């Protein structure tokens, strides 16, 4: 199939970007992938998922992704609605790490710590659209970003690619890879899409049933860091979702920071590409299976949504969406007992995800 050129994006906006210290005019666009009545909208600002349109059990279409109406709102977003986070996603204690005997200091943007790659992580940059095929049997978009040596304090140049593709009926696959070019560097990406299978803005997700392929988790301290380095069994705790359980069944028994809710890292059973999670909304009949090849996953239940402006004038409230963030162990750069996230020159980091919807 012929590849569509980049410029027919549905909407383009010129923004001023800082790249390598030099000002450059770049284009931010909205790109739609469509297969039948299943569609996904993306923007190359932060490699962000803006919407996923899926039918319910009665054939009614709804957007199941929380987000905003305009590109300008995504540029100014502080809730991480839908982007690909990196170079090192999740929290990093005091924004520092030691690699090969050298101490590195990254941008502090979460109290005393760093989160999601710093103030200008991968969610806050313009990605270059390399390929875009809007329709057909397997529509896809491939985006590229060159992260430069010293960006947000991280060492070495890093070539990053992210491909979003409709690989089957109601199936979205995300394939990311990163190659370290000249220095060893930590790498950990995560996709921060907020989902509500009842439709964005339809209420809370506490009645959604959730099942996780996770028999262990990493306890977090009040700063949301795995400071103890422990990996504990979920058995007998409020974190146990090994059997389908409503998200809200025990949510008042757990704290995600200083509020009730889940914001916790699970260690996913097994290795390679495997089933991570299954979620179902009984009211709409929509269900989701997530498969991934990462060792861990952060469950976040929208604890800090609070009259947050959403799409079409809607306000998102606490527990209005959930995130299933496949990832490496959080703060692994400061925990040698965790699997390493170091990528050395010539090595390639790969993170694959597959979201399969049904109804």
Topology adopted by domain 28-356: Beta-galactosidase; Chain A, domain 5 (2.70.98)
DSSP secondary structure string, 57-112? TTS-EEE-B---SSHHHHHT-SS--SPEE-SB-SEEGGGEEEETTEEEE----BTT
Q: Known binder of ligand: residue 208?
A: no
Active-site residue identified among 171, 208, 325, 351: 325
Phi, psi of 127, deg, nearest 5: -90, 145
How far does the chain reach from its first CA to its final CA, in angstroms?
30
Q: Known binder of ligand: residue 193?
A: yes
Nearest 10 degrees: CA dihedral of 237, 241, 246, 249?
0
Active-site residue identified among 116, 192, 208, 335: 192
Q: Known binder of ligand: residue 192?
A: yes
Q: What are the residue ranges spanned by the domains of the chain?
A: 28-356
For residue 26, the model assigns a pLDDT of 72
Active site residue 325: yes
Mean pLDDT by 10 residues, the chain (359 residues): 39 43 66 98 98 98 98 96 98 98 98 97 98 96 98 98 98 98 98 98 98 98 96 98 98 93 98 98 98 98 98 98 98 98 97 98
For residue 8, the model assigns a pLDDT of 38
Active site residue 192: yes
Reported pTM: 0.93
For residue 24, the model assigns a pLDDT of 42
For residue 20, the model assigns a pLDDT of 38
Q: Known binder of ligand: residue 194?
A: yes
For residue 11, the model assigns a pLDDT of 46
């Amino acid at each position: 199939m012929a590849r569509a050129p980049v410029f027919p994006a549905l909407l383009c906006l010129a923004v001023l970007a800082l790249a390598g210290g030099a000002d450059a005019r770049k284009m931010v666009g909205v790109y739609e992938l469509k297969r039948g009545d299943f569609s996904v909208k993306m923007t190359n600002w932060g490699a962000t998922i803006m919407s996923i349109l899926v039918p319910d059990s009665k054939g009614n279409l709804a957007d199941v992704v929380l987000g905003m109406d305009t590109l300008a709102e995504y540029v100014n977003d502080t809730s991480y609605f839908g982007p690909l986070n990196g170079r090192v996603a999740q929290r990093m204690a005091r924004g520092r790490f030691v690699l090969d005997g050298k101490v590195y200091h990254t941008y502090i943007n979460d109290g005393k710590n760093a989160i999601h790659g710093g103030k200008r992580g991968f969610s806050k940059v313009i990605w270059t659209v390399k390929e875009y095929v809007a329709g057909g049997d397997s529509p896809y978009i491939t985006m590229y970003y060159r992260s430069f040596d010293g960006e947000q304090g991280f060492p070495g140049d890093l070539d990053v690619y992210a491909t979003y593709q409709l690989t089957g009926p109601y199936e979205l696959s995300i394939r990311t890879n990163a190659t370290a070019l000249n220095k060893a560097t930590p790498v950990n990406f995560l996709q921060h899409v907020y989902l509500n299978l009842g439709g964005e803005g339809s209420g809370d997700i506490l009645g959604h049933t959730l099942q996780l392929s996770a028999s262990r988790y990493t306890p977090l301290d009040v700063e949301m860091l795995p400071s103890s380095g422990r990996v504990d069994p979920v058995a007998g705790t409020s974190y146990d979702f090994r059997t389908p359980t409503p998200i809200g069944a025990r949510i008042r028994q757990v704290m995600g920071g200083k509020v009730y809710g889940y914001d916790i890292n699970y260690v996913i059973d097994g290795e390679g590409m495997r089933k991570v999670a299954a979620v179902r909304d009984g009211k709409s009949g929509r269900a989701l299976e997530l498969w991934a090849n990462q060792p861990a996953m952060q469950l976040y239940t929208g604890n800090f949504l609070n009259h947050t402006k959403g799409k079409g004038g809607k306000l998102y409230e606490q527990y209005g969406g959930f995130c299933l963030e496949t990832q490496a162990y959080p703060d692994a750069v400061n925990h040698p007992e965790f699997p390493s996230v170091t990528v050395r020159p010539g090595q390639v980091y790969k993170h694959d995800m597959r979201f399969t919807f049904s109804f």
